[in-house]
A and B are shown apart, each in its own frame.
Chain A
């Protein structure tokens, strides 16, 4: 199993044990080296004292093997020698004929000053020896070399003891630490597991289910809060989707139901030609309603994906308003209403004429349908924006409704009685957004509804026409 596939608990424990192993090894090495150097220091001190004693002996009266053996008997733990500068043994505690423990090079060095050797094998001594050799002058003016040696066996044993203790103790300590670490990690991760189990049980079909917040204000608390906030957002967007689908299916099914009922009734026997004609007229009305709805839904779906294509072309504002109002002239006359136009003379804008006409058409349709009195169209330029307003003298938007007026399928009247599907203003907003502009409800001091659409005068600066795909990456509300 690769390390990535191990559980966090196992990885934490492994890392913990590895770190501890390094620390233990370093500490052990330090103690080992330090103890070794301390012990060597103590041996050296002893050697110096003894070398000084030997030198004093030489200085006092010349070397005498007998005296040496009597006063400086070292036994197995050490030895002393006095040599001439050419290496002849004058006196030695190692016994007669044992020769010197010094090699010629060290001897040559020792005639000049203090020389040290370590790890020398000396016959009759317990273990290797550490040696200090120094020159000493006799009263007669001759130079001798005094040699003090000490067995390093004790030091070796002490160090071996330390190493042994570490080799046995460290694995035990590591095993114990590993177990403790694993238990601790398990304890620390238990809330994660409980969060996981709870999250696993959450389905978005039952709304309102959330992760429990751990009591401590710790990292897991924050994680749970973050996840809950994410669930909130997902649920809200699912809810919007659900409402949209429910509304869309209602809007699609109602004309279909009427169509079907109309056709079914028309097929009943003994229908007069007039009845059949009326049924056909009604059916084609519903087909119109369905195709308008399909168109509107397409515009909205494309706007949702940020792909509502905008083909800008320069147009005079007065011409734009005149063209749209002409389409509604007959309907306004039939309803005994008037449409007035007020456009800034000579002003031009660079917009998608067809889309803007569609938006204005929706606004005039609303004004004729829900408003009263004269429908006023105004267009002017201000701060690089073209501002188009459609207002009427009716009751205006219900209080609180202007906020949601631009939502899909929103209508001031919940019952969806008559009229459009409630997509008109949503499309106005989609078209304004696609131009990089905005649509809003203006609440004047007087009565009546005024909807304002503001679009950038010249799209090239603020919203290049190819910029549509870039819009898709902008996070949406």
Chain B
């Protein structure tokens, strides 16, 4: 397992490196966010441990740019900043986990193992399909830069579509992901909301991105 440690405090970085190496991991250290970007770009790390307060670009920005660059290695933010806003911002910038200093090595190692188990599929913080863009953190949707206002349910439905672009999704699957058990009337609610969605994300832009798949359900077109 190869880990990238992004930490500007040399002593801290040295200790993490030592602690992980003794567990048999390969560890590289970057002292600046910029260094982390090119190192992660050229080497496939299994996980990245990222400090927030860095000289130059800070941890949030480093995290965002790593994801923008297509680096999907799990990122664990390891920082002394414990404010709720910081933790929220860290996770919403694309981090997978957040651990506070001072930490215990046992927990750091367990979290790293869990992160690596989850695999390294694409987990963008902001979903994009064609020129359609959905940010789950800020609840904002836009097409080609034009902000679209959706209700909570329409948003939830679109999020299901955008997590499976190009796939035919049955009405039942849509119901399962966007509605809960408390919802009784299940007959045609999906069709109604798909119609609402089309009114908002397609008609004003002259597109037809949500297609009806006969006998199955719907599909969000991928190639736009």
Contacts and interface: CB of A to CB of B under 8 A. Distances in A.
A254 interface: yes
A259 B81 contact: no
A403 interface: no
A283 to B, nearest CB: 11
A253 B105 contact: no
Given A415-B32, A415-B53, A265 B105 contact: yes
A253 B104 contact: no
A259 B31 CA distance: 20
B124 interface: no
B102 A260 contact: yes
Contact of B11 (A282, A413, A414, A416): A282
A258 B12 contact: yes
A141 B137 CA distance: 125
B81 A257 contact: no
Contact of A254 (B12, B58, B104): B12
Interface residues of B, number: 28
Interface in A224-261: 242, 246, 249-250, 252-254, 256-261
B15 interface: yes
Interface string A277-290: 00000100000000
Contacts of B103: 257, 260-261
B56 interface: yes
Contact of B104 (A258, A264, A268, A417): A264
A416 B56 CA distance: 11
A415 B8 contact: yes
A250 B53 contact: yes
Interface string B11-24: 11001101100100
A288 to B, nearest CB: 13
B102 A253 contact: yes
Contacts of B199: none
Contacts of A242: 83
B104 A249 contact: no
B54 interface: yes
Contact of B15 (A258, A413, A418): A258
28 contacts: A242-B83, A246-B81, A246-B83, A250-B80, A254-B9, A256-B101, A256-B102, A257-B12, A257-B102, A258-B9, A258-B12, A260-B104, A261-B15, A261-B105, A264-B19, A265-B22, A265-B105, A413-B55, A414-B53, A414-B55, A414-B56, A414-B58, A415-B58, A416-B53, A417-B9, A417-B31, A417-B55, A418-B10
Interface of B: 8-12, 15-16, 18-19, 22, 31-32, 53-56, 58, 80-83, 86, 100-105
Shortest beta-carbon contacts, A-B, top 4: A415-B55, A253-B80, A257-B101, A257-B102
Given A250-B80, A261-B103, 16 more contacts: A253-B100, A254-B80, A256-B101, A256-B102, A257-B80, A257-B101, A257-B103, A258-B15, A260-B103, A261-B16, A262-B15, A265-B18, A265-B22, A282-B11, A415-B8, A418-B9
